[in-house]
Amino acid sequence: MAKLYFSYSAMNAGKSTILLQASHNYRERGMNTLLLTARLDDRIAQGDNGKGKIGSRIGLQADAEMFDDSTDIFALVERLSQDTNFACILIDEAQFLSVAQVWQLSAIADDLAIPVMCYGLRTDFQGQLFDGSATLLAIADVLREIRTICHCGRKATMVVRQDADGTPITDGAQIEIGGNDKYVTLCRRHWKATMAQVTKPES
């Protein structure tokens, strides 16, 4: 039976690299994969064919279909499957999925019998779950944690957003695309200490 997988981590744990390696493994064995990524992640420019790209920090990249809030992913996969037999669907930036889209992914696994592998962040810079991640944590068949480390050597589970001067930011929009210059990955202990330093006490 096909399953819905969610591999989650803090930033800079190599999620996209693992996704691209998984796709390569399938294709090396003559099996087709379908890659999807969030339309709002424009850190890698769109290609001439209008598709997005999934890229890793070590330089790997591949073309991908794009989704946004209006995308019916089940309908997209069902349509594309008419011409191609997909062995697996791989989703990058899965935290940006809507609740409804996560349920669509479960239908792809359950009704179309295609495994779906999602990769994304669990929490935002305020320590709150993304909607897509929360729903995946609730209904995915298999949960996998991809580990990275804090500067202290402990497992990193949290992320701090900072301004151009390196000062941590405690509020703002949940979604703000950026690279290593905007985000720092920390263990929970150092995340709490960092946030406490910049949180003003109530008067």
Map out the domains of the chain as residue ranges.
4-147
Q: What is the spatial distance between Cα 31 and Cα 25, in angstroms, rounded to a whole number?
A: 9
The catalytic position among 28, 78, 93, 145 is: 93
**How would you write the pLDDT of the chain (203 residues) with one tens digit per residue?**
899 999 998 877 889 899 999 999 999 999 999 999 998 755 554 444 446 888 877 778 888 999 999 999 999 999 999 999 999 999 999 999 999 999 999 999 999 999 999 999 998 888 889 999 999 999 999 999 988 888 898 888 888 887 777 677 766 655 555 555 677 888 889 889 888 877 655 54
Could you read off the pLDDT of 163-202 as tens digits, one per residue? 777 677 766 655 555 555 677 888 889 889 888 877 655 5
Q: What is the spatial distance between Cα 143 and Cα 123, in angstroms, rounded to a whole number?
A: 15
Catalytic annotation present for 78: no
Cβ contact 170:199 at 8 Å: yes
Nearest to 100 by CA among 138, 68, 132, 134: 132
The domain at 4-147 falls in which architecture? 3-Layer(aba) Sandwich (3.40)
Place of tokens 């064995």: 29
